[in-house]
């Protein structure tokens, strides 16, 4: 028997991440999220590295001015019926050939030899509300990452479920310390923000 006030979630929506999405969506008055297609979601954005102390990168802001492979979204908001719980975050170092524009490599800061970037800190904003504040990228380093389980895992697993709701603008701000990154005549350097988790896709007819 369903108790009064108990959230009704259709079969298959059993994970805590999905329950958090549905609960948060209900608070926004968006009761149809539970009827959408469950999915694994990832969004990412890359910005040119500016090697100055205190440089702040505003990931996903003005993302409509970039195209794949520098991003995989068209706007810094999810569409109707789309939602996401942020479970994992990682930042990467990308090298691009200046002439051909071909991607030379996508690496961790350690493998790229720019370990100073691990002293960066980031915050996440949903509609100008700060939901993650000043988290250090040392959490990515396997030595300090309690979820690494290996010496090469550079993925930061969040302790809380943070949701992105449809049509709510989001942004990730990363503050970088001064590092020893030497400029190159042949290559351009970019820093990328990836976030992944459980989400929904708009399902106008069926769920698969």
pLDDT digit string, tens, across residues 25-46: 556 656 566 667 788 999 999 9
What tokens does 17 get? 């991440």
φ/ψ of 34, rounded to 5, equals -65, -15
Q: Give this prediction's pTM.
A: 0.83
**Helices vs strands, H then E, count in the chain:** 2, 9
For residue 137, with 0-12 CB atoms within 10 Å meaning exposed, 13-18 middle and 19 or more buried, which class applies?
A: buried
Reported as a single tens digit per residue, the pLDDT across 79-91 is 888 888 999 999 9
Distance of alpha carbon 131 from alpha carbon 140, whole angstroms: 19
pLDDT score of 8 more than 60 = no
Q: Indicate the pLDDT class of residue 192, thresholds 50, 70 and 90.
A: very high
**Cβ contacts of 182 within 8 Å, gap of 6 or more:** none
Domains and CATH numbers, the chain: 39-201 (2.60.120)
Question: Which pLDDT score is estimated for 149?
Answer: 66
């Amino acid at each position: 028997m369903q108790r009064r006030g108990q959230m009704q979630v259709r079969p298959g929506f059993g994970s805590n991440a999905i329950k958090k999405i549905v609960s948060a969506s209900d608070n926004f008055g968006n009761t149809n999220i539970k009827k959408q297609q469950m999915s694994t979601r990832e969004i990412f954005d890359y910005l040119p590295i500016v090697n100055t102390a205190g440089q702040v990168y505003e990931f996903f802001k003005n993302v409509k001015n970039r195209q794949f492979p520098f991003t995989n979204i068209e706007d810094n908001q999810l569409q109707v019926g789309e939602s996401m719980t942020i479970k994992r975050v990682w930042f990467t170092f990308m090298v691009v050939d200046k002439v051909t524009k071909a991607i030379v490599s996508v690496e961790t800061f350690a493998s790229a030899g720019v370990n100073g970037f691990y002293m960066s800190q980031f915050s996440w904003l949903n509609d100008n509300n700060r939901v993650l504040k000043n988290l250090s990228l040392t959490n990515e380093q396997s030595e300090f990452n309690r979820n690494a389980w290996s010496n090469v895992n550079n993925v930061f697993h969040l302790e809380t479920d943070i949701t992105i709701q449809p049509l709510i603008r989001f942004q990730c701000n990363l503050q970088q310390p001064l590092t020893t990154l030497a400029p190159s005549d042949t290559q351009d350097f970019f820093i990328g923000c990836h976030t992944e988790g459980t989400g929904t896709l708009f399902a106008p007819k069926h769920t698969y």
